[in-house]
Chains A and B, each alone.
Chain A
């Protein structure tokens, strides 16, 4: 059932405008310090917001590095745990029940559970620290990684590993030669998605980090709170750039239903 070509073209142009609009608007806001009402376009453009962000007093590079470090730590640990958890679930006789249990933290709002996790972090002595933030985020990221990696552990995959073992390969060799090479794509997808989950996190970071762990999302919120529109927009663009690149690289994998 084909749509007329003109309708499709008009739809595509409208879609392109709507989809690229937020990013362009954000870029314009970051360059327009004095965009007063009722002007439709700013009177003048200025790079003051960007200069303040990149060379100002908030040590943005340290914040950027901290955000990257947290996201990488969360992605690496949750993908590793998720890979093994997904294998355990795939061979379990309670697979359906375990799958449902894993879906729960994936759907739950981290912010709503943040007060509960804050207590856990206090008891473990990691509240208000980088380790506490990584731990709290990892709890949610493991669920996402497990769900993404469940589809990798098919019966065929396990049979292939069994065949290698029957031919004399040890556990380490099976993982090195069979499991990891065939899991490369699934692992990369899990790494990217869990990285993004951590990269976007605000409420959980603020609660468990106790306001002392500054990341790029908390910096953006601070600028929004100060009503500093150009700085908030510039920091927002900085926050959005890595996810856009990562999602464009992985867009085929993302198109699968949850």
Chain B
């Protein structure tokens, strides 16, 4: 992997590959001047952050409302189904449900809210990434719900809650001061890793995302697959920038985990 990354760096600096004409920074300058790569990175981070925060909040709500059902029984089994769904299928289903003539549009028609698919317009292929966020929630919510449920047990929050109640704390106070802060703090490293993994997601943004802006993975593959080989260095620049971002996030997550352990 290090070899592959070194090659990517060399290619982007004109030192290797079909375009090698000696050291140059023009591909890097071009990538930043056009703004496409920077926009894609920022868009990927914004979509990933929204999906992680929204997914985390929903997962927290599920755990606080129905945690007893998450450890065993039908709901516990069903919770694993979205995790087992390939992301290509999640993207495909998102188009079928959220597309202009999808299930939501049909429901709105049945309710008399619309008379033609165009009036709904759908929530896919939009430039705000709403469709991507909604589709990403399908694997994110169960994954984080399982994590929070496990942390709830390992941190003995049931006992802490009872203790707080004995000392006179109301349920809201216990939730606000003990349960939620503890769960979020302990889950922070995993939330951070979930965020960078979501930022690099491919199948869902490919099927549900808009032509512009594109998530970093889709942009990388588009630049790499183009007939115009002068675009290839930008694909490698995308890969290098994304790797640097991931490396930063992993180091931060590991440091945080180390602090928690200490």
Point out residues on A near B: beta carbons under 8 Å.
1, 3, 7-8, 11-12, 15-16, 19-20, 22-23, 25-26, 29, 37-40, 96, 99-100, 103-105, 107-109, 111-120, 139, 196, 199-200, 202-203, 207, 217, 220-221, 224, 229, 232-233, 236, 239-240, 243-244, 246-248, 251, 254-258
A111–B220 CB distance below 8 A? yes
Query: B162: which A residues are within 8 A, CB to CB?
Result: 1
**Contact call B103/A25, Cβ cutoff below 8 A:** yes
Other A-B contacts than A107-B193, A202-B202, A203-B217, 7 sampled, CB-CB below 8 A, are A1-B158, A19-B75, A37-B106, A38-B117, A100-B251, A109-B199, A203-B202
Q: Is the CB of A224 within 8 A of B90?
A: no
Residues of chain B within 8 A of A108, CB atoms compared: 200, 242-243, 246
Please judge, given known A-B contacts A8-B66, A257-B150, whether A100 and B250 are in contact too, CB under 8 Å. Answer: yes
Whether the pair B197, A23 counts as a contact (CB closer than 8 A) is no
A115 and B84 in contact, given A1-B161, A8-B68, A40-B106 (Cβ under 8 angstroms): no
Closest to A142 in B: B1
Contact (Cβ within 8 A) A107 B246: yes
Complex A-B, nearest 8 residue pairs according to Cβ-Cβ distance, in ascending order: A109-B200, A1-B161, A116-B4, A11-B66, A243-B84, A19-B78, A111-B202, A38-B109
Contact of A255 among B92, B149, B196, B242 (CB under 8 A): B149
CB pair A104 B247 closer than 8 Å: yes
8 Å CB contact of B187 from A100, A196, A243, A257: A257
CB <8 Å contact, A217 and B146: no
B232: nearest chain-A partner, CB-CB: A115
Report B222-245 CB contacts with A as 1/0, cut-off 8 Å: 001000000010011011001100
Complex alpha-carbon distance, A169 and B96, angstroms:
61
Interface code B91-108, partner A: CB below 8 Å = 1, 0 otherwise? 011001100010101110
Instruction: Check B201–A1 contact: CB distance below 8 A.
Output: no
Contacts of A248 in B (CB 8 A): 77, 80
Contacts A20-B81, A22-B85, A224-B207 known; A258 to B5 CB distance under 8 Å? no
CA distance in complex: A249, B15 (Å): 50
Chain B residues near A103 (CB-CB < 8 A): 193, 250, 253-254
A229, B82: Cα distance in complex, Å: 20
Chain A residues contacting B179 (CB-CB under 8 Å) are: 1
Q: Report A-chain residues with C-beta under 8 Å of the C-beta of B216.
A: 109, 112
By a CB distance below 8 angstroms, the chain A residues around B65 are 3, 7-8, 11
Q: Assess the A236–B89 pair: CB atoms within 8 A.
A: yes
- Does the CB pair A119–B4 fall under 8 Å? yes
| Chain B minimum-CB-distance residue to A196 | B84
B residues touching A (Cβ–Cβ < 8 Å)? 1, 3-5, 7-8, 11, 17, 62, 64-66, 68-69, 74-90, 92-93, 96-97, 101, 103, 105-107, 109-110, 117, 138, 142, 146-147, 149-151, 157-158, 161-162, 165, 171, 174-175, 179, 187, 190, 193, 196-197, 199-203, 207, 216-217, 220-221, 224, 232, 235-236, 238-239, 242-243, 246-247, 249-251, 253-254, 258
Q: How far apart are the CA atoms of A119 and B6 in the complex, in Å? A: 11
Q: Indicate which residue in A38, A104, A207 contacts B246 across the interface (CB closer than 8 Å).
A: A104
Residues of A contacting B232 in the complex (Cβ-Cβ under 8 angstroms) = 115
Sampled A-B contacts (15; CB under 8 Å): A1-B157, A1-B175, A3-B65, A8-B68, A15-B75, A107-B196, A107-B250, A109-B200, A112-B216, A113-B1, A117-B1, A224-B207, A233-B92, A240-B86, A257-B147
Q: Is the CB of A220 within 8 A of B224?
A: no
Bound form: Cα–Cα A20–B79 in Å: 8
Measured CB to CB, the nearest residue on chain B to A223 is B92
Whole-angstrom distance from the CB of B41 to the nearest CB of chain A? 11
Q: Which residues of B are found within 8 Å of A115, using beta-carbon distances?
A: 8, 220-221, 224, 232, 235-236, 239
A25 touching B88, Cβ below 8 Å: no
Please indicate the chain A residues that have their CB under 8 angstroms from the CB of B78 in the complex.
15-16, 19-20
Alpha-carbon separation in the docked complex, A23 to B93 (Å): 9
Q: How far is the CA of A215 from the CA of B191 in the complex (A)?
A: 31
B residues less than 8 Å from A25 (CB atoms): 93, 96-97, 103
Question: Would you give the shortest CB distance from A127 to chain B, in whole angstroms?
Answer: 13
The minimal Cβ–Cβ distance linking B199 to chain A, given in whole angstroms, is 8
Determine the chain A residues whose CB is within 8 A of the CB of B161 once the complex forms.
Answer: 1
Contact between B93 and A22, CB atoms less than 8 A apart = yes
CB distance from B100 to the nearest CB of A (A): 9
**Chain A residues whose CB sits within 8 angstroms of the CB of B146 once the complex forms:** 254-255
B69 to A15, Cβ gap below 8 A? yes
Report which residue of B78, B110, B253 has the largest number of chain A beta carbons within 10 angstroms of its beta carbon: B78
Assess the A8–B69 pair: CB atoms within 8 A: yes
For the complex, give the distance between the alpha carbons of A93 and B92 in Å: 47
CA distance A255 to B129 in the complex (A): 29
- Give the distance to chain B from A11, nearest Cβ to Cβ, in Å: 4
